[in-house]
A and B are shown apart, each in its own frame.
Chain A
C-alpha cells in the first residue's frame, strides 16, 4: 500500500468527534446483504478506523490498510450476528482493538525505531507547505502518541477519535471502567510529560 500523501490528510478542522449513528434501516440493509448499504457503512467509518490504526502503528500506512480491510471484512461477514443490544460503534471498535493487537502481535519484533522513522517521514512530507515550527509541533505530537505503550495508546486514540464513553471503551477494550479511566489518565499524563515544552505555551 502507498503511504498517504499530504493531500490525503483531511484538514484538521474537519475532525468529527462523536461519530455517525447507524440507522436501523442501514443496519437492516447490511444484514440483508445489500452491497450499497455496506459501502455506505464503510464510508461512514473508514477514515476513523484507518486513522486509529494509522496512529496506533506509528504512521504505518500498510498496517493501517490491513487493519481497515480486516475489520470491515469481519464486519460484513458477521453483521447478521449484531443484534443491536450494544452500540454499533462499541462492537466495531472492539474489532478494531482486536485486529490491531493481533497484527501487533504478528509483527512483534519490528523495530520501534523503524516505525518512528516512518511516522516522522509522514509528518515531514507537509513541512515544506507549513512553517517549520508547526511541522516540528506536529511531528512531536505524533511521535509522542506513537511512543505510548500499546494499551495507553489505543485507549487515548479511541477516546480522541471516537469520543467513546468510559462504558463503551470498557466494552471495546474488554476491561473495567476503572481500568479505562486509569489508562486514559496515565496515557494523558505520559503524553503531557512528552509534550511538556509544547504545552507550556498553552497554559
Chain B
C-alpha cells in the first residue's frame, strides 16, 4: 500500500517537473524579454527633479498645483514648530507639508493638530489629535505610524488620508498599497481603493471598497454584520474576511459560507480552523482572497 503511494507520488512529481520544463521551454522560446522604452528613464529623471512627484502620482493637477503656494504658507508654521513648538497646528487656511526622513511626506490639512512623536530611521511616528493628514510613504512596511485617539495607522508601504476628531471618530482612506489600523488587538487591513471608519473607544471599523454597494457600506458602518452578507460581491470578501473575527462563533459559519459562495475556498483552508479563528489559517485565507481585491 505504502509502496503504491510512493510510486504514485513519484509519478506525480515527475509529471509536475515535466510540465514545468515544457512550459518553461515554450516561454523561453516565445516570451522574449521586452526592452523597456527609453522614455521610462526620462520620466523617472523628470520626477526626481520635481520632488513632489517622487512620492505621488498626480491625478488632480490643479489641486496639487496649489501645493507649492500652500507649502510656503505652511513652512512658516513648520519653522515655528522646529524652533521649539511641539505641535503643528494649522488654521482654516493653512496647510503644511512635512518631509518624513527619506521615506516620504505628510501633508497636514487645514484645521489639524499633529505632533511628531518620533523621527528615527527605524520608526517615524506622528500623533494626530484632530483634523486630517495625507501620507505618502515609499518605504518598507512598519516604519511609519500615526497614533489617533481610536488607534494607530501602521503604514505597509502606501499613500493614504486619515481624518479624525478629538475622540477618535474618523476615516482612513487608502489610495495606494496597504494600511493596517490597530487598536487593543483589533486590526483592520485596508488596501488601495478601500476605506475604514475609526470609532471612539472601539478602534477600526470594518473596511470596504469605495465602490462597494451602498447597502454594504451602510451596514458595515453601523456594525450590522448580517446585513453585510447579502449585497457582498466577490471583491467584498475584503469586508467579509474582517467580519469573520468580529462576530460570535454562531454567526461565523454564515460569513464563511457566504465567502465560499462568492469565491472558491482555496485548497488547504479548513472551515473548522477559520471558524476557530486560527491565526495562521486566517492569514493564509486573507492572502488568497486578496488576489480578488
In the assembled complex, the CB of A199 is this many whole angstroms from the nearest CB of chain B, namely 5
Choice from A8, A35, A78 contacting B103 with Cβ under 8 Å: A78
**Measured between alpha carbons, how far is A113 from B36 in the docked complex, in Å?**
24
Interface segment, one of B16-24, B179-187, B197-205, B239-247: B16-24
CA distance A27 to B30 in the complex (A): 33
Given contacts A42-B44, A145-B27, A185-B16, contact A54 B191 (CB under 8 A): no
Asked whether A106 lies within 8 Å of B27 as measured between CB atoms, the reply is: no
Provide the main secondary structure of the chain A interface.
helix
B151 at the interface (CB under 8 A from A): no
Residues of B within 8 A of A156 (CB): 23, 27
By size class, the interface of chain A is: 35 or more
Query: Of all chain A residues, which has the CB nearest B176?
Result: A102
Tell me the count of chain B residues lying within 8 A, CB to CB, of chain A: 51
Give CA–CA (A161, B34) in the complex, Å: 11
Q: Please tell me if the beta carbons of A69 and B34 are within 8 angstroms of each other in the complex.
A: no
Q: Which of B25-54 contact A (CB under 8 A)?
A: 25-37, 39-41, 43-44, 47-48, 54
**Complex interface: chain B residues within 8 A of A48 (CB):** 33
Question: Inside 8 A of A9's CB, which chain B residues have their CB?
Answer: 32, 34-35
What separation, in Å, do the CA atoms of A62 and B103 have in the docked complex?
A: 27
Interchain CB contact under 8 A, B35 and A10: yes
Q: B212: CB under 8 A from chain A? A: no
A2 engages B37 (CB within 8 Å): yes
Q: Which residue of B lies closest to A151 (CB)?
A: B291
Q: Which of B35, B138, B267 contacts A50 (CB 8 A)?
A: B35
Q: Does B65 contact A (CB under 8 A)?
A: no
Residues of A within 8 A of B143 (CB): 81
A73's partner among B39, B47, B193, B268 (CB-CB below 8 A) is B47
**B39 engages A65 (CB within 8 Å):** yes
Binary per-residue interface labels of chain B (216-233) against chain A in the complex, 1 for a CB within 8 Å, 0 otherwise: 000000000000000000
Indicate if A132 sits at the interface (CB-CB under 8 A).
no
Inter-chain contact A54/B40, CB cutoff 8 Å: no
Set of chain A residues within 8 Å of B54, measured between Cβ atoms? 73, 76-77
Give the residue name and chain of the B residue nearest to A10 (CB): B33
Determine if B23 and A50 form an interchain contact, defined as CB atoms under 8 angstroms apart: no
Is the CB of A64 closer than 8 A to any CB of chain B?
yes
B140: interface (CB < 8 Å): yes
B107-129: contact bitstring with A at CB < 8 Å (1 yes, 0 no)?
A: 00000000000000100000000
Q: Are B102 and A78 in contact (CB under 8 A)?
A: yes
Chain A residue numbers with a CB within 8 Å of B253 are none
Are B24 and A199 interface neighbours, CB within 8 A?
no
CA distance A108 to B192 in the complex (A): 12
Complex-state Cα separation, A106 to B27, whole angstroms? 28
With A4-B34, A8-B35, A49-B36 known, 15 other A-B pairs at CB within 8 A are A4-B37, A11-B32, A12-B29, A46-B41, A61-B37, A64-B36, A76-B44, A102-B192, A105-B193, A151-B291, A156-B23, A160-B31, A161-B33, A192-B23, A199-B26
Q: List 20 A-B contacts (CB under 8 A).
A: A1-B39, A8-B37, A9-B35, A15-B32, A50-B34, A50-B36, A50-B40, A51-B31, A55-B31, A69-B43, A72-B44, A76-B48, A77-B103, A82-B140, A137-B30, A188-B19, A195-B23, A198-B26, A202-B22, A203-B22
A contact set with B: CB distance below 8 Å: 1-2, 4, 8-12, 14-16, 35, 39, 42, 46-51, 54-55, 61, 64-65, 68-70, 72-74, 76-78, 80-82, 91, 98, 101-102, 105-106, 108, 137-138, 141-142, 145, 149-151, 156, 160-161, 174-176, 178-179, 182, 184-185, 188-189, 191-192, 195, 198-199, 202-203
Across the A-B interface, the 5 shortest Cβ-Cβ residue pairs: A50-B36, A141-B30, A151-B291, A46-B36, A138-B30
